[in-house]
Structure 1
Amino acid sequence: MVTRHTLPDNLSNQSLRLDNQLCFALYSTSLAMTKLYKPLLDELGLTYPQYLALLVLWEHDGVTVSELGEQLYLDSGTLTPLLKRLEAAGLLSRLRDTADERCVLIRLTDAGRKLKGRAKRIPGGLLQAAHCDAAEALALTHQVQTLRNRLMA
Structure 2
Amino acid sequence: MTTPPASDAELLRLDHQVCFSLHAASRAFGGVYREALKELGLTYPQYLVMLVLWEHGPEPVKRIGERLRLDSGTLSPLLKRLEAAGLVHRERSPQDERSVIIRLTGAGEGLRERALPVPRRMLAATGLTVDELRTLRSLLGRVTSALDEG
TM-score, structure 1 length as denominator? 0.92
Which residue number in structure 2 is paired with residue 13 of structure 1?
9
State the secondary structure of the residue aligned to 2:7: helix
Q: Secondary structure at the match of 1:26?
A: helix
3-state SS of the aligned residue for 2:94?
Answer: coil
| Counterparts of 1:132 and 1:59, CA distance in 2 | 25
Which residue among 26, 48, 56 is the counterpart of 2:44?
48
> Counterparts of 1:10 and 1:73 in 2: how far apart (Å)?
34
| Cα displacement (A) at 1:84 | 0.2
Give the counterpart of 2:116 among 116, 120, 123. 120
* Alignment: residue pair count: 146
Counterparts of 1:14 and 1:50, CA distance in 2: 40
After TM superposition, the score normalised by the length of structure 2 is 0.94
Alignment CA distance shift 1:25-1:101 (3 Å): same
Task: Provide Cα deviations, 1:9-40, integer angstroms capped at 9, x if missing partner.
Answer: 96111111000001001111100111111111
Identical-residue share of aligned pairs (%): 48
In the other structure, the counterpart of 1:81 is: 77
2:98 aligned partner, one-letter code: R
Q: Where does the alignment leave 5 or more consecutive residues of structure 1 unmatched?
A: 1-8
Is residue 68 of structure 1 aligned with residue 42 of structure 2?
Answer: no
123-132 or 65-74, larger mean C-alpha shift: 123-132
What are the superposed Cα offsets for residues 45-92 of structure 1, whole Å, 9 maximum, x if unpaired? Answer: 000000001100001111100000000001111100000000000000
Gap runs ≥5 in structure 2: none
Q: Secondary structure at the match of 2:144?
A: helix
The CA RMSD over aligned residues, in Å, is 1.4
4+ runs of 1 displaced by more than 6 Å?
none
In structure 1, the residue corresponding to 2:127 is in which secondary structure?
coil
Q: Which whole-Å CA distance do the structure 2 matches of 1:29 and 1:135 have between them?
A: 18
Counterparts of 1:85 and 1:135 in 2: how far apart (Å)?
Answer: 36
SS at match of 2:91: strand
Within-5 A mapping of 1:83-102: 83-102=79-98
User: Residue 4 of structure 1 aligns with which residue?
Assistant: none
